[in-house]
Amino acid sequence: MAVTLALLPLAGCGDDGGYDDEVEAQFMSQCRAEAEQDPEAFVDPEAFCGCTYERIREDVAFEDFTEIDQAFSDFSAGVETTAPTLPSDLNAARINCFVDSQGAGASTSTSAAETTTSAAP
């Protein structure tokens, strides 16, 4: 899975102190852009990103989320030289969403392959 989920450029977002439409829009935009760079790995970037955002919103306090985001931003900008790591629960959610999002696309691909195989002489 190529997307490391460089979480978001969100340090100044969420003026109400939490997850809001702006935070979601920026997350989805950034996540889709990264996932679409590896179309062979990501069958359905929209499903992966939507699932990941929902799990983050449900399981990660917004303050923790912005701290994680800041660590990734600092690393990307060269402020920090040590790559940050995702907390294990957040990484597990990301992996589960990846697997879940591949399921629908994978079964579609398999069906198409089976149809092609069975139709061949």
- Per-residue pLDDT tens over the stretch 11-48: 445 444 599 999 999 999 999 999 999 988 888 999 99
List, in sequence order, the alpha helices (H) in the chain.
21-36, 45-59, 62-76, 88-119
Query: For the whole model, what pTM was predicted?
Result: 0.70
Between 90 and 114, residue with greater pLDDT: 90
pLDDT at 110: 33
Is residue 52 within 8 Å of residue 5, measured between CB atoms?
yes
Nearest to 45 by CA among 92, 104, 90, 109: 104
Is residue 72 within 8 Å of residue 84, measured between CB atoms?
yes
- Mean pLDDT for 61-75 is 89
State the average pLDDT for the chain. Answer: 76
